[in-house]
Amino acid sequence: MLTPEQMAETLAQLIGAQNVISESSLIEPFAEEPRQLYQAQPSLVVTPTSVDDVQAVMKWAHANDVAVIPQGGNTGLVGGQVPLQGAEVIISLKKMKQARDVDPATNAMVLEAGVTVLEAQQIAEEQNRLFPLSLGSEGSCQIGGILSTNAGGTAVLAYGNSRDLCLGVEAVLADGSLFNGLSKLRKDNTGYDLKDLLIGAEGTLGIITAASMKLFPRPTTFETALLNIETPEAAVSVLEVVRRKNGNRVTSFELVPTYGIELQIKHQLAERDPRASVSPWHILMEYSLFDGEEPGTLLNTLEALFEAELISDASVCNSLADRKMMWKMRENYAECQTREADGIKHDISVPVKDVPELIRRGDIAAEETIPGIRSFAFGHMGDGNIHYDFLSPIDMPKGEIRSHAPALHDAMYEIVADLNGSISAEHGIGQMKAQLLQQKKDPVALDMMYSIKQALDPKGILNPGKVLAKRA
């Protein structure tokens, strides 16, 4: 087995000493993940600057049976981008930042894996186009990472997940060979769509080094409001009215519990109280309007919702500052939980119509499992993806709730299965849910996944132990 020193020396010759990090203090940030659940350290980190570099590293890794972990912005929440065993080499794509092609006529752009989502949005804006992916970590998460996890965000309702936004990918495979699938075509019916094997695979089948991403017409204005509703059931009814009246004009439809707003006020995260009045639940809804469309769509819809008695009040954004404040409030939901107490988190999805049942049954199960626990369900109501989190009871000592997590997870995932939902909506499987996937995934589907893994990575060196746990 090669020592870290031997690895560093060889890799420095292959891709340059400036692209090899072997000092413990400099490695540390790459091994730390947002929830601080995983502590293993890699042997070293490499930061290639080109596809040739990535190929050279993978050819070396393949020849020497060295496990590698592809890493983007290190924002993942299930431990897919950090070590499991402690002897792996992290391949960070952060230096691969080129926009290789921006084609407004085709409505596509080809970006390297290290471009952040925010940078992708800005590149699109320079061409008067929209790259619609938007999520809280957009300033840090990178194109390669969001495709590897098939990230969603707040605009899935209108534009789809990362997979839906991608036309093609370039990827380095386990043996260092290059898959060149950077198509900008909307129609290409020439066999298996291989890009879809790599999207959502969390770097276990190949390392995405570049991608061809869709662009869209840029909205000229947005209409945004925070609606007061009594129950999650009312949210389903509101969504039906909104879709019937306005179709794809509604681009975001987020379920917001008032408890989260109150915690933001308590912990001084909110600029002001964004609510028109107090209500148990809210919907943060946004319309996108384009050239030739007159403002007023939102107000007409609100009128219909008031008449149907589906909403009791609404706070309408009258300026860009109001809109930014409202979306900052939505993005602060995770931070206010962290400041308030320890918690247990779930990223799950069910059919939209079953979201109220999920919350009803989930709250009951959580209270039975941990009396006094505080429910915190929020998120992408429009596509059925709920971030169903729980905060520890007020009088519970710090750290104690973690011992209750397995029982609560079991209860929640049983409900999800009964509602034909998913144990991972947009965060992925990583190492956190690899064993759970064995229990919940269809056995035939699992066999197919293992067969694909074996075909593309027979030595098992690409992100081992992530997504697919090692079979006995």
Domain ranges of the chain: 99-217, 221-334, 341-418
* pTM of the predicted model as reported, rounded to 2 decimal places: 0.94
**Would you state the pLDDT for residue 215?**
98
| Relative orientation angle of helices 355-369 and 405-418, to the nearest 10 degrees | 150
Sequence-distant (≥ 6) Cβ neighbours of residue 297 within 8 angstroms: 223, 246, 249, 287, 289
Question: Scanning the structure block, which residue is given the tokens 């020497």?
Answer: 64
Copy the structure tokens of residue 73.
Answer: 């912005």
DSSP 116: B
**CB atoms inside a 10 Å sphere around CB 271:** 13
The fold of 341-418 is Alpha-Beta Plaits (3.30.70)
Domain 99-217 -> CATH class: alpha beta
DSSP 219: P
**Would you state the pLDDT for residue 39?**
85
Distance in angstroms between the alpha carbons of the first and the last residue of the chain: 24
pLDDT in tens, 163-187: 999 999 999 999 999 999 999 999 9
**CB atoms inside a 10 Å sphere around CB 321:** 10
**Would you state the pLDDT for residue 472?**
64
Question: Scanning the structure block, which residue is given the tokens 């519970």?
Answer: 396
Sequence-distant (≥ 6) Cβ neighbours of residue 140 within 8 angstroms: 73, 74, 75, 116
CA angle 457, 458, 463 (to 5 degrees): 45
Q: Which residues face 388 on adjacent strands?
A: 377
Instruction: Render each residue's pLDDT in the chain as its tens digit; 472 residues.
Output: 899 999 999 999 999 999 999 999 999 999 999 888 898 999 999 999 999 999 999 999 999 999 999 999 999 999 999 999 888 999 999 999 999 999 999 999 999 999 999 999 999 999 999 999 999 899 999 999 999 999 999 999 999 999 999 999 999 999 999 999 999 999 999 999 999 999 999 999 999 999 999 999 999 999 999 999 999 999 999 999 999 988 878 999 999 999 999 999 999 999 899 999 999 999 999 999 998 888 888 999 999 999 999 999 999 999 999 999 999 999 999 999 999 999 999 999 999 999 999 999 999 999 999 999 999 999 999 999 999 999 999 999 999 999 999 999 999 999 999 999 999 999 999 999 999 999 999 999 999 999 999 999 999 999 999 999 988 6
Do the domains at 221-334 and 341-418 have one common CATH topology? yes
**Would you state the pLDDT for residue 37?**
86
The three-class DSSP label of residue 209 is strand
Mind giving me the DSSP string for 389-430? EEE--TTSPTTGGGGGHHHHHHHHHHHHHHTT-BS-SSS--T
The CATH number corresponding to 221-334 among 3.30.70.2190, 3.20.20.70, 1.10.3720.10, 2.40.30.60 equals 3.30.70.2190
The three-class DSSP label of residue 442 is coil
Contact 396/443 with Cβ under 8 angstroms? no
The phi-psi region of residue 247 (left if phi > 0; otherwise alpha if psi is between -120 and 50; otherwise beta) is left
